[in-house]
Structure 1
Amino acid sequence: MALVDLATGTLVADPAEVATVIEPTADTEALAAAASGNAGPVAIRFPVFNDGRGISLARLLRERHGFTGEIRAIGHLIPDLAQFLLRSGFDTAEIADPDQATVWKSSVERIKHNYQPGFRNLLPLRWDASRTESKSLDERLDRIQSLTDRIREVRRRVEGRIAFSTSLGLEDQAILHAIAESGVDIDVFTLDTGRLFPEVLETVELSELRYGIRIRLVVPEAAEVEALVARDGVFGFRDSVENRKSCCEIRKVRPLNRELEGAQAWISGLRRDHSEERASVPLAAWDEARALVKVNPVADWSTQDLTAYIAANNIPVNPLHARGFVSIGCAPCTRAVQPGEHPRAGRWWWENEEKKECGLHVNPNRKGRAA
């Protein structure tokens, strides 16, 4: 028997560790016992190839029991199961004939560019020195001046899905321009909280027409929004910082975390000039909680660098910027900035906290809440 790596389609001829075997009839206690301590691999048996219980057990191990180790699929398996196993949390599959590894690899290749998010990111298992590699990427990007070339370098160095979450702000429009110019394969989406300025959606349409890139609109779970409003009221986010952060979490943080599941890298428009809290943001770093590489390709740009790039390339921008809006969030939570004010003074202006963040750029725990 040998194993095939579902993420790459390569053969693992001599598995290093013996796995704890779970039968398809395993109950919650058996799953909890197998997951406890994350000591070693867990193997889930498939008595027949179309037995969906193994798929469910893998998802329960990942989601409910927080298992982060290797999950193997063993038993009666066929190559066509590759994408379902991979997206459900499996890392490897047992094959009786090592020569069949090429068939499994072909199956994996057919779904290599599928943008639907997988259940979790397998990069930590494939990329042993994730922190070292991220630091190396950071140093490499620091030596590259062109934004377009930085995007190409990220694509060259990172396997799998790269996600770009855009707010349609100045930084993100510059990055979108570079993505289009680079011609590389990157998944672009924006968080539609249900409370965006109309100008933001107009900028989405204008950008799609300009660059020929689809910007997916990602919305929060309707039931969570309904429960939030029922509890706090329509404008309850202004009653306390805690209420406001709850609103941000449900409308922005949780949808973002769902979209980043299965991605190997996340591109954002953070810049060191934004605030004191972001003054040391790297060009690339390992995001431990999300298990991916977070890339901030304009982190070292000054505001002058940014505006000059936008002007030189005639990049479409949100018309709100011309009306004094610097950092643009949801309409009820954003106002124009007065001359001399901090760039983020227009966000949640009724709060007295110095550190104003919505949680998108704060590492979440496994349930998606801001730390």
Structure 2
Amino acid sequence: MNFLTNNILFKRFAIIISLIIVSLILWNTYIFFQKFKQEERIKMEILATAQKEIATNTDLNANVDLPLKVIENNNNIPMILVNAKGEIEYFQNLDSKKAENPKYLENQLAKMKTENEPIEVSYKGKNRQYIYYRDSDLLNKLSYYPIALILILFLFLSVIYMFYNSNKAAETNKLWTGMAKETAHQIGTPLSSLLGWIAILKMEKIDETYVNEIEKDVHRLNTIANRFSKIGSIPELKKENIVDITKQAFDYLESRSSKQISFSFNTINNEIYTNLNTELFGWVIENLIKNAIDAMLGKGELILKIENTSKKVKITISDTGKGMPKKLFKQIFKPGFTTKKRGWGLGLSLSKRIVEDYHKGKIFVQKSEIGKGTTFEILLEKV
């Protein structure tokens, strides 16, 4: 509980700190932007003063080098000088080729009027001229700076979020693995006791049919316990006859399923060898058969076929159940996904992990049609 509380508090603290950082970045950028904008305004006022100095100077021998230098040094702020009638007399830092088109200059002037107040150039209220200007390209680029910083911060927080999520998933997997191993350990004690009771029943000369069935179920429980004990560890693969292993799982479920389901096991070769973990692979076959039985609602036809190719062994399990749309072919293998009212949606995801991660094979939906049924296919390398 303390760990969860500390984790929640840490996340809230991280969010608050992130918001403070973003706020400070935006505020400082705004202050910097306004200061830079004010400096550009001062530059244009100085330029206006230089322009006025040149325009009002009647002395031909006067030195106007300084005003001219001020005007020439404006090489980054686009500006347009207009007379009192609004006619354009001069412009700077605009595209000279585009400026050949009067429409371009008119559009630029309209934009400048919306961005900044004009600066008046006149002498004793006469010969009025106005300097219009817009923000420099550097200032415009700076306006995107906060967005770039926010995006960087967002990416940084996303990485942190994914990191914590992956840690949480790892902790959850570790918890489930521990629970599975503990379940296997707990089942082992009553199993040992049941084996003893079976021995007593045999000595008491109870009907062997009943004793054999009980023995099968005890063996089944032992298999389940072994499966759970292997979760989280790399299983050992051995060269096995896949036909025998598949038939055992098939026969067990056939004997305990509805008699209204027709079971069919088809194979040409009785011996096909591949590297298997018999307990885990049997789990896959059982999951697929159980899904088929559930899809048929206890009535229909189930066909399991084993085919031998040059390099691979192919197992198909077909049913005459409700089927599924093509868009679900991949989703059904995701953990937690289920179309049933009951169930955790782990059977097919476990089957995929066992076949593809442990046995380096393939499992997929070969075909499915709504109202007609589904066929799953497993491909494994032969040895």
Query: TM-score band (shorter)?
Result: under 0.3
Larger Rg: 2
> What TM-score do you get using the length of structure 2 for normalisation?
0.23
Which one has more relative contact order, counting CA pairs under 8 Å at least 6 apart?
1
Choose between structure 1 and 2: higher helix proportion: 2
> What TM-score do you get using the length of structure 1 for normalisation?
0.24
